[in-house]
Structure 1
Amino acid sequence: MQISQLWVYPIKSLRGCVVPQAMLTKEGFYHDRRFVLLQQDEANPGKWKHMAVSRISQMVLFHTSISGDILTITYRPPGSTADPETLEIPLEPENLPELKRVDVNMHFSPTTGFDMGEKYSKWFSDRFGFKVILAYWGNNPRLVLGNLPNKPTTQGPKPKNVITNVLSSLPVIGPMLEGDDGVIAFNDCAPYLVVTEPSLADVSKRLPEGVEADVTKFRANILLKTSDSAWAEDFWGELAFGDEGAKILLTGNCGRCKSLNVDYNTGESGTGKDGELLKLLQKDRRVDPGVKYSPIFGRYGFASKGSEGMVLRVGDEVALSKRNEERTRFYWPGIST
């Protein structure tokens, strides 16, 4: 196998950046999901919730690019002939101690972010039409509550008592208690997501002739070219990259949501078959009883301990170093079935 594309997503749910190389860290590729956009939670005044394409489809109209230590956001509304609007954001804020802290609770795994300030919040708020906060991760880890390396089956993590649950939610104490358990930034359920070209091609077969599935909708970190058949990755347990010995341990399946139906050109629901992609996949890709209503495309994974700091490059050779006898079952309390 071979790496054909690498992606990082500096701000969760905005468009990603295709990159020639990316460095592995415990929490994901360097710069991946280090920022998140928050909106006010109408059900809980004073609280903020993370924004996602499945709820706010116009997020796909914001493009990202990285140059040096600057992240540039580019926005142009559909049909506009004016020059695109841009915003520059430092990838590593220098005034972090001065920034206001904000609680972020994604998929029942809480952490603390840093409010980047009015300049950035106003830029996004003006374009979305409601109050938005841009929050920076700041190395405050979120605990992985689901499938972990060496625990990728039906049971998930061992239950904790009430006191441990509370302590684990604290950014500093949590990792000390968790030991080898995984942590993430503003990723959904794991640091990495791997998909393959044959499976992407199989998705395209469900669409009208001449229409290809848009790989960007699937928000993968790694796209692999392989001679395997479509969906062979359902059974993959571990991948080895290049000559340095970098490994990604694949622990769970990625269940897909209605964000697949969004037209990335308009920021609205797609029309025709392209707007029914989720339904088309549900016909035969509901293969994980852990998310029995969601079609599966892609595998979640974690970098092995010895792989942190290693760099993956487009064109690197990839070997399947472990294959599971049966599919893993997705587990995440509050999400899995």
Structure 2
Amino acid sequence: MSDSSNDPFDLAAVISRLYVYPVKSCAGVRVQEAILTETGLEFDRAWMVVDAQGHFLTQREFPRMALIQPQLKAYEMVLRAPGMLALHMALDQVEAPARVKVWDDEVSAYDMGAIAAQWFSDFLGTPARLVRFDPEHRRISSRQWTGGVEALNQFSDGYPLLVISEASLDQLNARLAATGAAGVGMERFRPNIVLGNAAHGSELAPHDEDRLELLQIATAQGAVRLKPVKPCARCPIPNIDPATALSSPEVGDTLQGYRQDPRVNGAPTFGMNVIRLGSTADHLLQVGQAVDASYRFG
């Protein structure tokens, strides 16, 4: 906590990790920096795998998606998976317009073509296509949770950013260890921004992100203000080992034991969905940047 009586913030932290998930429900990419855009981190959930009817596919039905590893390069995305040749796709090219379904939203997209469709169909063992979000489409996060703020996202589950603290994962791993289970990595929880302790100031408590009203990140382009709006209710995906795509219940069972959240009808939660406030100009987020935060009261 700052010693300055003029400081409106209660907590000092830093960005300890950044993750981008180019293809929804495939592996993430840990990065040292990422551009924060109006819809979240650049290229985050910009692509999605759909079935023959245009409905989205995830690790919930196809755990093998965890083994698909994207790599972002200057002009292309490269996808790799066990037993498959690498799939190269130019970042600035799409094919035919499409309409697809993610949860209850029908959105405009672009089909990525026959080669990508065959690659995903072969690996998943079911007819599948890859689509890219249409940047002209405005997919709006639930106003019920954003307090009326118009927050845009692409193919995420509903919000532009997910924030988790290192302290929250440490507590979960301590609880797993107490049951004789192995600890797990942050990758299972698919955050965009991970908060760690600042060099000076009080340490983050587990799930401090649940209690924050506002986060402010100092960037070269100016301060960015973020607002946590909805606890992230957890489905079975955190049970899936991202290295093997095998599922076991200990993570979900442990969360069920101490993280049932009345705000989302008693579902276990881990992390907070976050929106931007104010300017939607692009900002460069970097690991190590200072994050000031204020607690929510009342």
- What is the TM-score when the length of structure 1 is the normalising length? 0.78
Report the Cα offset of residue 198 of structure 1: 0.5
Letter of the 1:49 partner, please give it. H
Counterpart residue number, 1:238:
214
Distance in 2 (alpha carbons) for counterparts of 1:118 and 1:267? 26
1:145 aligned partner, one-letter code: S
C-alpha contact 1:7 1:17 (8 A) present in aligned 2: yes
Identity over aligned residues, as a percent? 24
CA distance in 2, matches of 1:234, 1:142: 25
Is the contact made by 2:162 and 2:273 (CA closer than 8 Å) also made in structure 1? yes
Which deviates further from its counterpart, 196-205 or 210-219?
A: 210-219
CA offsets 1:10-38 (integer angstroms, 9 cap, x no match)? 11000011111111111110111110000
Equivalent-residue separation in structure 2 for 1:23 and 1:148 (angstroms)? 25
Question: How much is the aligned-residue C-alpha RMSD, in angstroms?
Answer: 1.8
Cα distance, 1:210 vs structure 2: 8.1
Q: Are 1:259 and 2:255 counterparts? A: no
TM-superposed CA distance for 1:55, in Å, is 1.7
Paired position in structure 2 for 1:119: 115
- Contact 1:25–1:309 (CA<8 Å) still a contact in 2? yes
> How many corresponding residue pairs?
276
- The answer to whether the Cα contact below 8 Å between 1:193 and 1:299 also exists between their aligned partners in 2 is yes
Instruction: Summarize deviations over 1:277-320 as a string: whole Å, max 9, x none.
Output: 1111011101233242x211111111223253111100101100
Q: Residue 48 of structure 1: SS of its match in structure 2?
A: coil
Q: CA deviation at 1:265?
A: 2.2
Assess if the C-alpha contact under 8 Å between 2:21 and 2:45 holds in 1.
yes
Q: What does the per-residue CA deviation read over 1:55-87, in whole Å, with 9 as the maximum and x for residues that have no partner?
A: 21110011111110211111115xxxxxx6311
Match of 2:69 in 1: 63
Provide Cα deviations, 1:208-235, integer angstroms capped at 9, x if missing partner.
3683221101000001103121112111
Match of 2:99 in 1: 103
Are the aligned partners of 1:73 and 1:87 in contact in 2 as well (CA < 8 Å)?
A: yes
**Partner SS, residue 170 of structure 2:** helix
Q: Residues of 1 paired with 2:128 and 2:212: CA distance?
A: 39
**The residue matched to 2:69 in structure 1 has which SS?**
strand
The aligned counterpart of 2:200 is: none
- Pairwise mapping of residues 122-141 of structure 1 onto structure 2 (< 5 A)? 122-139=118-135, 140-141=137-138
The aligned amino acid for 1:229 is A
Letter in 2 for 1:72: V
Q: Which position in structure 2 is the counterpart of 1:168?
A: none
Quote the offset at 1:269 in angstroms. 1.4
Determine whether 1:290 maps to 2:287: no
Distance in structure 2 (CA, Å) of the matches to 1:245 and 1:295: 32
| Matched residue, 2:89 | 89
Counterparts of 1:223 and 1:147 in 2: how far apart (Å)? 25
Deviation at 1:257, TM superposition (A): 0.7
The aligned counterpart of 1:300 is: 273
Q: Give, in angstroms, the shift of residue 120 of structure 1.
A: 0.7
Match of 2:163 in 1: 194
Q: In the alignment, what sits opposite 2:7?
A: none
Task: Tell whether the 8 Å contact from 1:253 to 1:288 is kept in structure 2 after alignment.
Answer: no
Structure 1 residue 148 displacement after superposition:
4.6
Tell me how far apart the structure 1 counterparts of residues 47 and 65 of structure 2 sit (CA, whole Å). 14
Deviations 1:87-128 (A, max 9, x none): 1112221xx4xx322222222122111111101101111111
Inter-partner Cα distance in structure 2 for 1:48 and 1:3: 36
Q: Which residue of 2 aligns with 1:269?
A: 247
The aligned residue for residue 50 of structure 2 is 38
Which residue of structure 1 aligns with residue 9 of structure 2?
none
Look up the SS of the partner of 2:270 in the other structure: strand
Partner of 2:296: 324
SS at match of 2:279: helix
Query: How far 1:253 sits from its partner (Å)?
Result: 0.7
Counterpart secondary structure, 2:122: helix
